[in-house]
Amino acid sequence: MTVRPRDVVVVGASAGGVEALRATAAQLPADLPAAVLVALHMPAGGTSALPAILDRAGPLPAQAARNGEPMEHGRVYVAPPDHHLLVSDGTVALSHGPTENGHRPAINALFRSAAVARGASVTGVLLSGVLDDGVAGLQAIAGQGGRVVVQDPRDALYPAMPEKALRALTPDHVVAASEIGEVLAKVTLELVEADSGPAPEPLRWENEIASAGRVGVGVGAMGKPSEFACPDCHGVLADIDHGVRYRCRVGHAWTAEALVAAQGDTVERALWTGMRALEEKASLCRRLAALARERRNDLIAGRYEAQARETIEAAEVLRRQMVGRG
């Protein structure tokens, strides 16, 4: 039987993740026999200071990932803004594929690609964050025989992502961020079977979407069409995982929890837009009332003034509802 080491480490983080990543990087051994790939949720525009932060934090050199470069042991590769970071056998890949849970880079995309490309050689690490990006990716890694490490929720600034992982699967290790380096030093010395067979078709199919290699898939081919619309493109979402995860025709992916959050944002934007429209209508009615008064048309002025009062009352009701939502 041919064996190989667990020499690929993929790390995902969101809110509070910089602190957790810094603590993890500080404790990584200088001779770590693995490549480390990092995806942190970040805005699409601008540049990221994360490579410099991690480069200073620990002994391993860290850099922004470049498409097609070989993965080397003892190096940290960081996803740049607005790109998925993916593992493609022995190289790093960058993709502008569809967002997942509204994010690019997405943690699930990184984890899933590593599971497909390297199977049991992968160790997935999930750190601080909100909602549940990364949980499905950890399940993919575990399903291919890889190791799973989760930051102890009590140690995380934002414990939601680690907590969701603990509910969905049984990690191999649950430790504070400052202890993850020591765990990885041991895990990366383990040997695994080199050829464990291809990943399941649904996993490979989703990885193709993230790498922008498969587009325009019919909703019916992905799963049962749902009654929900994609917050990104407003297309019909297909249920691809028994109500847990969804994808639209062009590939945007959502977990149920992230979809709820996105729909809440949409509702809030609509409410603020409605309130602004009411205030603008009231202002216009007052202006028309003033013009009518100047022309001595008191009847028309009174009508506009009444409309202004009614509109302001409606806006105040809406404003109270908005404050109550907070």
Active-site residues: which are they? Answer: 14, 41, 133
Residues 24/52, Cβ–Cβ less than 8 Å: no
What gap in Å lies between CA 203 and CA 116, rounded to an integer? 7
Q: How far is CA 311 from the centre of its chain?
A: 40
What gap in Å lies between CA 71 and CA 39, rounded to an integer? 15
User: Cis before residue 80, ω within 30 degrees of 0?
Assistant: no
Residue 7 φ then ψ, to 5°: -115, 20
How many of the other CB atoms lie within 10 Å of CB of 271?
Answer: 15
- Residue 98's closest CA among 7, 19, 214? 214
- Residue 205's closest CA among 243, 238, 234? 238
